[in-house]
Amino acid sequence: MSLRGESVDTYRDVRTREAPSPGHRLLLIVPDPGSRESLAARLAAAGHQVTSVATGAAAMAELGDRHFDLLVVDVDIPDLHDLARNRPRLVARPPIICMTTCDALEPLLPEVGIEVEDYVTKPCRDAELLARVQVLLRGRQAAPRASVLRHGDLVLDEIVYQAWRGERRLEVTPAEYRLLRHLLLNAGRVLSKEQLALHVWDEPRELNAIERLVSRLRQKVDETSPALIHTRRGFGYWLGDPAPM
């Protein structure tokens, strides 16, 4: 089994304190890794499904594969012109919010090559960006959320918040449920300990906290063979079938 590249990240809100409404799909295009991960996490915590990439070329590949409800574009991406050069593929494109150091929208238009609905100036406050996102998404129908996630004989039911491995019911805690859900949503993708902690607890935690949580979940899930939760030493964890030797 091949692992998906780490340059494209998908974030979704995994909290189970209350039943969340289906989130809109957002494509975040930001070159700086720290800013990209921070903004993606904040947007996911607001209930959106966020895919983040670092370049215009990666953005065009994502846009060719799936539907998005909104694009958030940092104009400092190294190949911004790719979004303009490939604009015929965006005939039915979603709205765009640009992040820029400019204080006017007009200078962005020749670079982006397509109409921009809104912009925020950098450095921007998260609250301001979230507010602009909500305004542009208002009235747009979000994609329906699947009620069942599965990988092989591992099944997670989001209606009753319960998981099974084959016929065996998994007695998971709320934190283990949130961890398992995020691993299932990103099956085949290596997820860092920091990212997992943020999605489980909505805040940074000591790395040994997520290590202990993964260990407890692994004991429950992998009591049945084959093992599905794996460690990639130095990088993090991933869920999927064992890679062929």
Is 83 in contact with 59 (CB distance < 8 Å)?
Answer: yes
Predicted local distance difference test score (pLDDT) of residue 240? 93
The band of 228, judged by pLDDT with boundaries at 50, 70 and 90, is very high
Strand partners, 73: 29, 98
Listed range (46-50, 61-65, 96-100, 212-216) with the worst mean pLDDT: 61-65
Taking residues 46-57, what's their average pLDDT? 85
Whose tokens are 């989130």? That residue is: 23
228/224 Cα distance (integer angstroms) = 9
pLDDT digits (tens, 9 = 90+) for 170-224: 999 988 998 998 899 889 999 999 888 887 887 778 889 999 999 999 999 999 9
Is 70 in contact with 24 (CB distance < 8 Å)?
Answer: yes
Predicted local distance difference test score (pLDDT) of residue 13? 40
Predicted local distance difference test score (pLDDT) of residue 37? 87
Please tell me the total number of residues recorded for the chain in this structure. 245
Q: Is the pLDDT of residue 245 over 50?
A: no
Count other C-beta atoms under 10 Å from residue 221's C-beta: 21
Q: Max Cα separation, the chain?
A: 60
Compute the mean pLDDT over every residue in the chain, rounded to the nearest whole number. 76
pLDDT digits (tens, 9 = 90+) for 11-36: 544 333 333 344 688 999 999 888 88
Predicted local distance difference test score (pLDDT) of residue 70? 87
Strand partners, 119: 98
Predicted local distance difference test score (pLDDT) of residue 140? 60
User: What is the residue type of 220?
Assistant: K
pLDDT digits (tens, 9 = 90+) for 80-103: 766 655 443 444 567 888 887 765
Taking residues 124-133, what's their average pLDDT? 81
* DSSP assignment string, the chain: -PPPPTTSEEE-----SS-PPPPPEEEEE-SSHHHHHHHHHHHHHTT-EEEEESSHHHHHHHHHHS--SEEEEETT-TTTHHHHHTGGGGTTPPPEEEEES-S-STTHHHHH-S---EEEESSPPHHHHHHHHHHHHTTPPPPPPPSEEEETTEEEETTTTEEEETTEEE---HHHHHHHHHHHHTTTS-B-HHHHHHHHHSS---HHHHHHHHHHHHHHHTTSSSP-EEEETTTEEEESSPPP-
Predicted local distance difference test score (pLDDT) of residue 139? 61
